[in-house]
Amino acid sequence: MRLKDEFTISVTGSAGVRQIAVNDIGSKNSKETLMCLPGILEVKSTFLGLQPLIERGYRIVTLDYCGRGRSDYLENINHYKTSTYIEDVLAVYDYIIQSNRNANPLLRKFKQNVWRLQGKSIHMLGNSMGGLIAAAIAMKKLPGIKSLILNDISSLIPWSGLFSLYGNLSQSSFHISSHGNFNNSNDLAKTLNVDPKLLKAVMQATHLDIPFHNTIHGIEFKSIFNSIAVPLCLIYSSESKLVTKLAINNIKKYSETILLVEESGSSHPVKFQKHVVNKIHSFISHQY
């Protein structure tokens, strides 16, 4: 899948006015739109492996959150937080359904209903942190959102997985092992194509500012997953440190019919190999 049709969308929110980069690939007349949300330090090119879905008639829309890729960097490091990225995603949702969050409420509702009456659906796919953002969007029960696909993230993040994740981020060991050795964080940020300030921002306690509560087992996003009414699919690595048996049992509390897709290895998030893409397509197809 070549990244083409790139453009920017203006977002006005808690971090001020910014431009975020978006890719919209496939027919805009498609009945199925896959809205893809990257992970914590990913950019939209991470979804290149989804090309087979384009060939099956899907429309794929993805974005660079602020501070990543070709989107604007933020001046204030404290504005880099999950709620800010949710604003970015909601702006893309409005673009998909051809609405405007600042428009007259009646006109906005009319456009939402027109889009829904056309028989179109949005399926949200989120990698790691992007999965939590997708879940936070799904709980809003916005028109057109038909299903939610989580990639190596669950309703519970075990303490061991959380410490491992933030340990890797603080040492940049995960990224250095993937991209080479770096003399400083600016070199790493350049390779990852992110704002250097972001490497520090993601380590701050204020970065994860969506509802959760601490339990003996880890941090649980109970209020979010309690409010999700759409079908769920969880893709995870067999050696995942985030999606353990404990995390799987936890998410089953919120969705007894959740589709579990286990892939061998320890990749985080799971790579979009051909057979994984086929399972995504099968899950979506079974929603009708």
CATH of the domain at 166: 3.40.50.1820
Confidence band for 115, pLDDT divided at 50, 70 and 90: confident
For 48-66, the pLDDT digits (tens) are 999 899 999 999 999 999 9
Report yes or no on 199 lying in a domain.
Answer: yes
Q: Taking a C-beta distance cutoff of 8 angstroms, is the pair 46, 95 a contact?
A: no
Is 136 part of any domain?
yes
Where does the pLDDT of residue 1 fall: very low under 50, low under 70, confident under 90, or very high at 90 and above?
very low
Residue range of the domain that includes 11: 6-285
Under 8 Å CB-to-CB from 69, ≥6 apart: which residues? 21, 43, 44, 45, 193, 194
Q: What is the pLDDT of residue 193?
A: 95
Quote the pLDDT of residue 2.
43
Q: How far apart are CA 285 and CA 104, in angstroms?
A: 35
1 in any annotated domain: no
The single-letter code of the amino acid at 67 is G
pLDDT digits (tens, 9 = 90+) for 89-103: 999 999 998 766 666
In angstroms, rounded to a whole number, what is the distance separating the alpha carbons of residues 211 and 178? 32
Reading the block at residue 140, the tokens are: 């809003």
What region, left, alpha or beta, does residue 56 occupy, with left being phi > 0 and alpha being psi -120 to 50 degrees?
A: alpha
Number of domains in the chain: 1
pLDDT over 70 percentage in the chain: 90
- Asked whether residue 32 is domain-assigned, the answer is yes
